[in-house]
Amino acid sequence: MVSCLAIFLCLIADSRASFETLLQDDECAEGAEACSLEALQRRAIQLEASQEEPAWEESVLAAWAHEPGCQGVLRGQCGAAAVVVEVEPESGGLTSKVYTAGAGGGRAPFDETKMTSIFPVASNSKILTSILLVVALADHGKVSMGETVSDFLGQKCSDLPEAVAKITLVQLSSHTSGLPAQPTNRHMEPCQRDPVNCNPYTKYTEQDLCETLREVTLGPKGHYLYSNLAFGMLGYFLELRMGLPYEQLAQTWVLHPLNMTSARVTLNESQWHEMTPPGKDASGEGRWRRHPYGILQGNGAFLVSVPDMGRLLGAMIKAERGQETPLAATLRQTLQPLAWSGYCACDACEEEELLKLSIPTAERGLVAMGWESSSSGLRRGWHKSGDIAGYSSWMAFNAALGRGAFGVDTCGGCGAKLGSLRGSAVQRMVRLLADGPPEKVVPLPQVALPELGALVGDFKACPAAPGKLQSTSLATLSLTLRGTQLLASTTSFTGEEGPMVTATPVSSAEADGLQAFSGVVLALSGPVGTIHGGPNEHGPLAEVSQRRTIHFLEEPFAPNKRGAAVLHIAGVDIFFVEDASQCP
């Protein structure tokens, strides 16, 4: 007969053992004092108190796994992995932890302990290209940011249009060259024969590049227009100048100094099978871009492990904070703002007068060398997305918070809405992870009704740009006083009303990196809307415990008037104005 002491020791060793299991033992059932009901209850309570609560990050991954669109046929076939990094403000010490989840609650299709798997990080490769460019510029003096397309292709491509020939390296690296998103002559024919292994950049040659540059239609230079073609050219120009393959240059000058030893462009057949979990599309079909790239590798060719992407984020955070890290000066230079960016085209983001606010918004931000910014908790954060057939990824960091995250799925961007700027489920997940768990708020002990009443009103979201459709689905943010309770709600542009939730005034001190004066801060009791999702999007990611606040900004042009109400939710800020005439 097993003693009750032995059973108790087993309980300690296995936190999943249940109280009911203990009672099933014969000796305990016979009424031995050591196994009395009271003793077992005391021990169960002690054991429960000794167990650590699941990490908040794990709850975010679990929410991703049950998002609509990431279940169904994908269950057990794909998953997501994320790394969260934090930098200790004083010592500069870096902590990093990887989290994994399987779609629909199934098993994640990669090594969940060592995390040596590598994934196509797609357009996140552009950040590596930008760092390589600055290394070549600042550390080796091999290139100048004012050099032009003609300096690299003038002897190779005859009859280039003058406007194309004069495009500079700084314009290529900041999406302000006017070049379109893709070359006009990608090789799509092989994809029709082999959609699983499709790579439209395979065998793309210098002759192909010359051909597309002769016939391309440019947008206005100096204005933000996202371009894969531009970054592909940038990587190729560095090859031409340095006389080495792009992959070798990046590994020698960027990846090895940052200890990113997993990253590679070229894999043999066994490495594809052993190191890279295959991506899936919504039907469960495989999607691998296994055929090698041609010359435009700088726009998205690298495969990297999740822990190594965390090393990149940690270095970026420390560099922006002015702390010691490899390539610190180079990394800081890639973060120098070069132009306005955002979810609008051409010249729509050029003027600060767009919202009459002095900081970037959810609708527009700043573009640096590959990086793009947005406002998050009234602090500037940097991010970069990456999507490719079978995979979706996002990385984001906020140096003021000392926190960043990278995540990738093997589900082809499940959870995204076609034609929406909402982003895939994994991209929304990373925004939450980078934002961090909700802080414990301290409600103000007493707020007079007149002070609460002064916050009541309907605030309106400005259009993304003059004459452009609003990219966020939230049209209004309303604050209502019911008795002594302040309530907040949102309405979509289609008239759909979101739920009312309690808005509690809380004490708040200005923190590191705050970009605007915050007069009043309201903590929200639940989700009132999500960026690009809608007021009643109640999927698991929308419901996960997260920072939900409203900040009021003073109008710099009229000090006695509220300038904007800033709804912070899902890791981003959405700006609403009280006076619609402030919108362009």
Cα dist from 509 to 298, 437, 451, whole Å: 43, 18, 19
Band (469; pLDDT cuts 50, 70, 90): very low
* Range in 314-328, 439-453, 555-569 the model is least confident about: 555-569
CATH number for region 96-334+369-435: 3.40.710.10
Mean pLDDT over the full length of the chain: 81
* C-alpha 210 chain-centroid distance: 34
| AA identity, residue 413 | G
Cβ–Cβ < 8 Å for 157, 214: yes
The CATH architecture to which 449-582 belongs is Beta Barrel (2.40)
Q: What pLDDT is attached to residue 504?
A: 92
Beta strands per DSSP E along 118-253: 118-120
**Beta-sheet strands, E only, within 181-227:** none
Structure tokens at 253: 């000058």
**pLDDT the model gives residue 557:** 44
Rounded Cα distance, 209 and 432, in Å = 39
Q: In the numeric block, which tokens belong to residue 329?
A: 């000066």
How far, in Å, CA of 384 to CA of 122, rounded?
10
Please indicate whether residue 469 or residue 391 has the higher confidence score (pLDDT). 391
Is pLDDT at 170 greater than 90 in this prediction? yes
Is residue 281 within 8 A of residue 90, CB to CB? The reply is no
Half-sphere exposure of residue 39: CA atoms within 13 angstroms, side-chain side: 13
Calculate the alpha carbon distances from 381 to 124, 184, 457, 515 in Å: 16, 33, 29, 11
Rounded to whole angstroms, how far apart are CA atoms 429 and 57? Answer: 10
pLDDT in tens, 377-424: 888 899 999 998 899 999 999 999 999 999 999 998 898 875 455 689
State whether residue 530 is helix, strand or coil: strand
pLDDT classification of 547: cutoffs 50, 70, 90: very high
Same CATH topology for 96-334+369-435 and 449-582: the answer is no
Nearest to 344 by CA among 355, 358, 333: 355
Contact 366, 337 (CB under 8 A): yes
Sign of the torsion angle spanned by Cα atoms 548, 549, 550, 556: negative
Give the pLDDT band of residue 362 (cuts 50, 70, 90). Answer: low
Helix 425-435 and helix 56-65, axial crossing angle in degrees, nearest 10: 170
Those residues with Cβ within 8 angstroms of residue 189's Cβ, 6 or more apart along the chain or in another chain: none
Highest mean pLDDT among 40-54, 142-156, 352-366: 142-156
pTM, to two decimals: 0.85
Give the type of residue at 453.
G
Number of other CB atoms surrounding residue 316 within 10 Å: 28
Give the pLDDT band (50/70/90) at residue 219.
confident
pLDDT tens-place string over residues 251-307: 999 999 999 999 999 999 899 888 999 898 877 888 878 888 999 999 999 999 999
Q: Could you tell me which residues are beta bridge partners of residue 260? A: none
pLDDT at 40: 46
Specify the range with the lowest mean pLDDT, choosing from 133-147, 241-255, 515-529: 515-529
Buried/exposed code over 351-384 (b: 16+ C-beta within 10 A; e: otherwise): eeebbbbebbbbbbbbbbbbbbbbbbbbbbbbbb
Q: Are 119 and 278 in contact (CB under 8 A)?
A: no
Residue 541 has pLDDT above 70, yes or no: yes
Q: Domain coordinates of the chain in residue numbers?
A: 4-50, 96-334+369-435, 449-582
Which of 82-96, 272-286, 314-328, 531-545 shows the lowest per-residue confidence on average (mean pLDDT)?
531-545
158: left (phi over 0), alpha (psi -120 to 50) or beta: beta
Beta strands 501-506 and 518-524: pairing type? antiparallel
- pLDDT at position 14: 35
